[in-house]
Structure 1
Amino acid sequence: MMLDQVSKPAYPDFHALVDLQAGLVDRSIFSDEEIYKLELERIFARGWNFMCHESQIPKPGDFFLSFIGDDSVIATRDKTGKLQVFLNTCRHRGNAVCRAEQGHTKSFLCTYHGWTYGLDGKLIGVPGYKDFYHEDLDRSQWGLVAAPHVESYKGFVFACMDPDAPNLNEFLGPVGRMCIDQIASRGKLAIVDGVSKNIIGCNWKLAVDNVFDYYHVITHMSAFMSGGTAPVIRGGPGGSEPQRTVLGEYGHAIGGPKLTEEDVDAMKASPNDAVAQSRDLYHRMLPEVQETLGDVGVYAQGHPHIFPNFWVSGNQVSLRIPRGPNKTEIWWFTFLDEDMPKETRDMRMHRAIHAFGAAGMLEQEDGENWDQSTRATRGVLAKRYPLNFRMGMGHDIVQKDEKSGISYIDTLVSEHPQRWTYRAWADWMTAESWADLKRDRAPIPEGIA
């Protein structure tokens, strides 16, 4: 049988696996090997992926090793200073051409046979080119595979391997840009050296799900009781703290606590008071920040998330990098204002280290839950029963900001952002191309959510 005669595999109905009319999600999407492989193809290989911050590669020849799905990639600047992203694989036998996680170089060398590539990805050195290849190897055709799209928004560098993808600005849309604005508005940002990395035995989507989850306060009782961190919800699970969900194209969302009018009025009156400092929100009282975030963004205190795996938490950014259906590598980048006083900087660093990452009390507790939840998606009996995502369903109204056109839901603790994320996941998994995704993706909900 000819290759082009092989029939396409029969994929499941992803919108049936994520049944948001009933508020149910099939457990198979968290452990099925074939679904995971298709995620790598239709979500990560197709979408825009965060690479690094420009402060990590400020000069030509600087590089940072990152991932698109499970593909290793090199983010760098060529001799002209242009941002470039290349697959980290030699075109000869596939060996990695970059082993260091970060650094500076003049070229990328394959340690297997010595093929050498310039900062622009071109093949510039082939041992035995004259004697062994008889000069008939067209080196112009064998450079590193380059991402067709590499763009930066406010210093945050993204890359996309699909030539048919929309530009970064269109992909982010107003909500995706707001997600980055939430951290970019914190002053003159620079990355703190070192990226915290650890592997948790969970499916990457369960780690993403938790981004919006302010219902799991019981998980962190040991952290709260030890004084390691403060409770995240006033009034406890299902308490009276207002929440705001912001819904964006392609699955971007913000979910979590909403500032009250009283909070904002108090911080406007005294932007350096204890409330503003403790909640790390005093920068939002600056007129230019309020203009950037708009009325919706200023009041949204929850966690911003850019689909598929880019999470903003205060002055940190996290990636949930898939390592198979049952493993996820968690990366944490920490950003601080270059003009921040040393005492404040030390306090922020202590908080970053001891909240999330391998040494973080919160993530150790979260990770145990994600691990057990993932295990329970593989059981022959357990996987017969779907997961419940019905909280708040049918009880809240989607509002639209007249000035920005951004849709949001004001309520208490709910699962609106999770349902929106899984709905977008099903759209991405169903679409065979960007044209399909643009045409067939679900519109942002209106009316009753």
Structure 2
Amino acid sequence: MATRPDNVTPEQLPRLLQPVILGADYSAYAYVRAFWEAYEARSLIYASFDVKSISRTRFAEYRVVDGIDREEVLLATLEALGEELCASGRVCFLVTCGDFYARIVSQHKPELERWFYTPVVDFDVLDFVTQKENFYRVCDQIDMPYPKTRYLDCADLAAQVDDEGFRYPLVAKPSNSAAYHYAEFPGKKKVFIVRTPEELRRIYAALRASCYDESLIVQEFVPGGDSHMYAVYAYADGDSDPVFMVCGHVGLEDHHPEAIGNAVAIVPEHNDEVCAAVARFMKKVGYHGMGCFDAKYDERDGSFRFLEMNTRPGRSSWLVLLAGINYARMQVEEVVLGRRPAPARPADDWVYVAVPRRVIARCMPAGALRDRILAAYANGSARFALGWDADSISQRLWARVNYLHQVSKFKRYLPEGDRP
């Protein structure tokens, strides 16, 4: 059987490197850009269906494999690919876009490392952190605020909803997003804003009737709209100390039921309190690698309440490239070459957008943040996550279609605009 090459030199790396990307969302395209800009390496993208706004890129080969988000299909595909590429002397570098891909690769990391180098977090840390009950327990230990929370066991078919002490509306979300990926039921959403006790009971019943058998998290709703949200992208070294932190203030989020919480407009806004909490968390759990955190500003007491951590680059990870940090290069040099990453200071002259200007103008509440984002469209610093002039005409066409489609999508799912 073939194995990955060892003792790769920096001079050999650009010629031998073969990035392999699992999943096809905005973060996959960010990885494509990062690998090309660092090494002029064309990536291989594996996905379960054709996402035209990404699959037409000239900087990657896009392969559709039916059922690749299932463990047995993914592992068989990776074994065959690893054998093929390693036999030809390639340095295979495996990254993931999606919680379910990250979990499967992390769980099978020891055997996959026969063929692949990968920056995916070790499974003991990933499994601990991605169980949101554990996330909030660590928050308690390190004085990291989070919303009042309760857990409903979806494996207990006899359990009753316990919402005592909560005021509606509430937020309900699965504790394990990787397991939730496979659940199918009418009205499925990434996150539920629950208006009544009856609605919470319906959601709980639907989850228990599906294949999902983890907890349903019920939380108090922190007042305020999307512009109260903050995102932190961070990289921790082998000692779990931060190499970089890019802190962004969210202006608007997606409101499609299956994409709620995905930011579509972010500006740089460093916050010492938020970044210090992130650093404490990574140190406490022994985190190594890249992750992203979501927090919401609570104007009732001036705190930032943390909602979750993703153990991978998030959907908006292109903002790290906009901030002048090529995290793909950082991952490759650490994992393949064994180089300890040097601290990196992010730039603050960028604005991340995934929607046209008219969506911001209509959907964001008036104020300084909205004015700042609108000004960025005017001065050219607002950059679309799929917009890359160097890419093919077909890719740029489908990216434009994706971009303009956001206008009708927001009219449908956010008809009255966001609330301040």
Higher relative contact order (CA 8 A, sep 6+): 1
Q: Please confirm whether the aligned pair reaches a TM-score higher than 0.5, indicating the same fold.
A: no
Normalised by the size of structure 2, how large is the TM-score? 0.27
